[in-house]
Amino acid sequence: MELRLLGLSHKTAPVEVREKVAIAPQRLKEALKFFLSGDGEEKHEVVILSTCNRTEIYTVSESFKKAFDFLENYFQIYISEVEKHLYHYSGVKAAEHLMRVASGLDSMIVGEGQVLGQVKGAWQAAQELKTTHSLLNALFNRAISCGKRSRSETKINQGAVSVGSAAVELAKKIFGDLELRQVLIIGAGKMSEVAARLLKSQVVFVANRTFFRAEELAAKIVGKAIKFDELDDYLKTCDIVISSTGSAHYIITQPRIHNVLEGRKNNPLFLIDIAVPRDVDPRVGELSSVYLYDIDDLNAVAAENLKGRQLEIPKVEKIIEEEKENFIRWHKGSMTKRKSLSAPAEAA
C-alpha cells in the first residue's frame, strides 16, 4: 500500500473540464462514502480535496485503479473525457505536491490563503468519516504546518487576493470607479463574501437560495438581501454581477439574460462567474452589451499581483523541503516500528 494522488487543476484543465469532476462542500462526505463503498475488509485511506481550481484524490492503496474507477462511476463520465488533464503521483512526490498546494504555490493566485482552509476542511471531513489513518493524518498534519509556516515566515501572501478579490479588481479595470455602480452578488459562500467585502462601500445586493444566508452576508457588508426569485428584477438594474453558488446547473441562461436585456436599454452588463461548476451559460457572453468572464479569465488579473511574491517562492520551497523531510523521517520511523512490532521476540 502506497501514498497516491490522482487529480487535475487549473494548470492542466480548463474550467469546462474541471466542472465535470467538481464536488460541492455539502456533497464531500457523500463522495468519500461512495469511494469506499466497494471496499471489503481492506479499507483504503482517502481524502478528497475539491475546490474551484482543483479536484484531487489522496489515497493509500495498491494502485490508481480505485481512484480512476471513482471518477468514472461517481461523476458518470468516461475517463477518456478527462484523462489527458489528469496527473498522478506516488510516494514523496504526492506528499510534496500537497505541501505546495497548502502553501499556495500551486494556486491560480500564488500565496492566496483560502486554499489552506480548504485543505483543512477536506482532511476534517475525512477524519469525521474515519477514512484516514496514520499515513494520511501525518501527511495532512505536515502539509498544514507547511502552509502556516509559509505564510508566517515569508511574504508569500503579502497583498494576497482570492479569486473573489481578483474578480473585483477585474470589474474596476472595466468600469473604473465602482462608486456609482450597482452590484449583485449571487451566492453567500466564502468567495462571494470576499468579493462583497471589497464592495461594501458600493450599492450591493445579495441573493442566495437560502434567504437567511443572504441576510447574514448583507448584514456584514451593509448591503441588502434579496430573494432568489427576485433575481430577474435586479439583473435588469445592476451593472455588475458576481456569481459563486454551489449549483450543479446553470442559473443564468442565455434566454434569461436575453429577456433581461430588453429592460436594460443597452446598458452594459458585466458578469463574473467564479463558480465551478459554472453558474452562467457561456453562450450568455455572445449577447450584445454583455461582458462575461469566468474563473480562468482571472489569470490575467492575478499575474499583476505576482511580481512581489515571486521573490518569496524560493523561501517557501525551502520550508516545503524541510516539512517533506520531516514527513519522510516520520514514515521511515513508522515503518521501522511496524517491523519491530511484527518481528518474533528473541529468546531470553
For the annotated binding site for NADP(+), the residues are 187-192
For the annotated binding site for substrate, the residues are 51-54, 107, 112-114, 118
| pLDDT-derived band at 220, boundaries 50, 70, 90 | confident
Res. 232: pLDDT tops 80: yes
Q: Which amino acid is at 133?
A: H
Mean pLDDT of the chain: 88
Q: What is the pLDDT of residue 263?
A: 83
Mean pLDDT along residues 51-62: 94
E-assigned strands of the chain? Answer: 2-9, 45-50, 54-61, 87-90, 182-186, 203-207, 224-226, 240-243, 269-273, 290-294
C-alpha grid cell for residue 279?
453558474
Rounded to 5°, angle at Cα 171 from 165 and 176: 120
Q: What is the pLDDT of residue 180?
A: 80
113: Cα separation from own chain's centroid: 11
Give the whole-angstrom CA distance, residue 76 versus residue 112.
32
Res. 339: pLDDT tops 60: no
Give the whole-angstrom CA distance, residue 146 versus residue 118.
14
Residue 288 region by backbone torsions, left for phi larger than 0, else alpha for psi between -120 and 50, else beta: beta
Res. 38: pLDDT tops 80: no
The partner residues of 240 in beta bridges, in order of sequence, read: 183, 270
Q: Which residue has the cell 449571487?
A: 186
Asked if residue 291 lies in contact with residue 270, where contact means CB atoms within 8 angstroms, the answer is: yes
Give the whole-angstrom CA distance, residue 198 versus residue 195.
5
Q: What is the pLDDT of residue 347?
A: 32
Instruction: Please give the backbone phi and psi of residue 41, each rounded to the nearest 5 degrees, phi first.
Output: -70, -30
Instruction: Compute CA distances 133 → 146, 176, 207, 246, whole Å.
Output: 20, 52, 40, 30
Listed in sequence order, the residues at least 6 apart from 246 whose beta carbon sits closer than 8 Å to its beta carbon are 24, 25, 26, 187, 189, 275
List 52, 126, 290, 301, catalytic entry: 52
- What percent of the chain clears pLDDT 70, i.e. is strictly above it? 90
Give the whole-angstrom CA distance, residue 2 versus residue 17.
28
Q: Which residue has the cell 463574501?
A: 193
Asked if residue 264 lies in contact with residue 184, where contact means CB atoms within 8 angstroms, the answer is: no
Listed in sequence order, the residues at least 6 apart from 256 whose beta carbon sits closer than 8 Å to its beta carbon are 232, 235
| pLDDT-derived band at 66, boundaries 50, 70, 90 | very high
Question: Is 52 in the active site?
Answer: yes
275: Cα separation from own chain's centroid: 9
pTM: 0.73
171-203 tens-digit pLDDT:
787 788 887 889 999 998 877 777 777 765 678
The 3-state DSSP class for residue 90 equals strand
Catalogue all structural domains in the chain, each as residue range(s) with its CATH number: 2-158+309-331 (3.30.460.30), 163-303 (3.40.50.720)
- What is the pairing mode between strands 182-186 and 240-243? parallel
For the annotated binding site, the residues are 51-54, 107, 112-114, 118, 187-192
- What is the pairing mode between strands 224-226 and 203-207? parallel
What is the four-CA torsion angle of 279, 281, 282, 285, rounded to 10 degrees? -100
Res. 346: pLDDT tops 50: no
Q: What is the pLDDT of residue 164?
A: 67
Rounded to 5°, angle at Cα 109 from 108 and 113: 115
